[in-house]
A and B are shown apart, each in its own frame.
Chain A
């Protein structure tokens, strides 16, 4: 039976796991308890493995990293954020970050699955068999996953700040990590995201400089603008010029812009004949 599942079927199951994570966390919080770390991480890990399977089949079908349409970009971003959560987030001693990650991954994957137009056409071999270009694209998208997790920790920082300022400390606010811990992890995530994106742009630029004709100016400008905005945010934060809630809001707004840019960037690619109907 499992062999009959399509890549989208796998991705639907993965999205449902993330949704279950979100619902279990919400149920725990509504009962006045904290989501169980073990349960939350178990659900996220199961969803992650299933999503990985779905992306693997999609990758096999398109002959490369599945980054050929908006659906795939959203799926890959959610997968990257979950990867990073499972690598570093689980050590964060807060099941709340797991709950937030499950919520984000469920939103991104379900949205991408519920809009059929985003996956109406697929492109095969979009990297022309060039492993470095594929590496550049995958790394760029992975940095978006890092920024997604950063948006989550920034949201948690805003919630913690709100609870302390408004003196509402009970209920689920009490499960949030401290302001300082959230700030520290946010700075680390920002540094990691900017570094990964820098490497991605550096690799990409080596090919653009050789073949300027192939460069899509709109995509280049937008990507560099997002990288510059994040780099500037990191620089201002490290110099203490952008701190606390203003820093958190900046991280959230930048991620919304970065996410919104995925669609236009993808559609700005030179037209290629759709090879696989959805």
Chain B
């Protein structure tokens, strides 16, 4: 590296993401809230680091900043690795280290959800906003980062509005919730019965809860497990043997037990339908082998989806999002170029 390179101020991104760092490595690199504060203090003491912001999520740890020399960036790496007790040479193998225009383009891609594990997810947008707000609060963001982050937010909104990158859910649990929306509209007055207290059922229940489901009841072959999960979900528990008699009381039934055979029979559903009003019934069978008699899907006003159905929809949505990537990248490249022209003069 020559002297002029060492002394040139530049915008940089340094970090590790899910692209190169597997989960077990990201676990070691993840920064706790208190560690984040300490790291911030240490970085603030670097006199050649003009501005910086730390983005710390489960899929990435990234430092965005303006450094006066290349040496500054190396110092950041050293400080970070020391704090996390992580070998610097190991970090060098997996790290992302980019500059100037590429750094601008990277931030725009990350904010738009293009660099996420689940392409098009929008949670990252809020996480970047939080990290930027934190940088502002701690006064580590200056004119360059202010400009770059604000433009990144505008670009992300533009990409979301003008492309289908965020359309359709890509996880089985969220696909199930979207389907429930297609049947019931708002979920605020829907009653959900969760049969099985396993992980997949819990994920589905949490997805329903996060989208405003009215009430959740948990039933499991092991009552104590049902009660435990019910307590975690702020739900109620129902003895397993009463499940079929209570179908009439629910709008959505999510099954995910490990039972060897069917636990919801067509006769029980038929009986429930005669006692229900015109409200539709949505049955989600996430179990393998299936928990619900497949003939239930032929009954009127009843909608049955199994694991394969939901996975196929999630896959279709994922493909649809991927087909939008080129369109998004074009928008990002165009905006990054304009932004870089505006930013370069401030460095």
A interface residues, Cβ below 8 angstroms from B: 32, 160, 163-165, 167, 169-170, 176-181, 183, 237, 240, 243-247
Determine which of B164, B185, B276, B316 lies in contact with A177 in the assembled complex, contact meaning CB atoms within 8 Å: B185
Query: Cβ of B340 < 8 Å from any Cβ of A?
Result: no
Provide the residues of chain A in CB contact with B164, threshold 8 Å: 32
Pull 12 A–B residue pairs with CB atoms less than 8 Å apart, ordered by A.
Answer: A164-B303, A165-B297, A165-B303, A169-B182, A170-B168, A170-B320, A179-B184, A183-B278, A243-B300, A244-B300, A244-B301, A245-B301
**Residue on B nearest A242 in the bound complex, by CB:** B278
Distance in Å: Cβ of B278 to nearest Cβ of chain A:
4
Given contacts A169-B313, A240-B277, contact A180 B184 (CB under 8 A): yes
* Inter-chain contacts of A164 with B (CB < 8 A): 179, 182-183, 303
Residue of A nearest to B190 (CB): A180
Q: Whole-angstrom distance between the alpha carbons of A178 and B187 in the complex?
A: 11
* Number of A-B pairs, beta carbon distance below 8 Å: 52
Inter-subunit contact A244/B278 (CB<8 Å): yes
Which of B168, B183, B313, B316 is in CB contact (< 8 Å) with A180?
B183
| Residues in chain B within 8 A of chain A (CB atoms) | 164, 168, 179, 181-185, 276-280, 297, 300-301, 303, 305, 309, 312-313, 316, 320
Residues B313 and A244 in contact, CB atoms below 8 Å apart: no
Beyond contacts A160-B182, A240-B277, A244-B280: 17 other A-B pairs, Cβ-Cβ < 8 A, are A164-B179, A164-B182, A164-B183, A164-B303, A165-B297, A167-B312, A169-B313, A176-B182, A178-B181, A178-B185, A180-B185, A180-B280, A237-B278, A243-B278, A243-B300, A244-B278, A244-B300
Q: Could you tell me the dominant secondary structure of chain A's interface residues?
A: helix
Q: Do B185 and A240 touch across chains, with their CB atoms under 8 A apart? A: no
Q: In the bound complex, what is the Cα–Cα distance between A165 and B277 (angstroms)?
A: 20
7 tightest A-B CB contacts, nearest first: A178-B185, A244-B301, A243-B278, A181-B185, A179-B183, A180-B184, A240-B277
Of all chain A residues, which has the CB nearest B316?
A: A170
Bound complex: CA of A244 vs CA of B279, how far in Å?
Answer: 9
When distances are taken between beta carbons in the complex, the residues of chain A under 8 Å from B280 are 179-180, 244
Q: How far is the CA of A64 from the CA of B87 in the complex (A)?
A: 92
Expressed in whole angstroms, the Cα–Cα distance for A240 and B303 within the complex equals 18
In the complex, the chain A residue whose C-beta lies closest to that of B274 is A240
Q: How far is the CA of A236 from the CA of B182 in the complex (A)?
A: 25
Bound-state Cα–Cα, A17 to B148, Å: 46
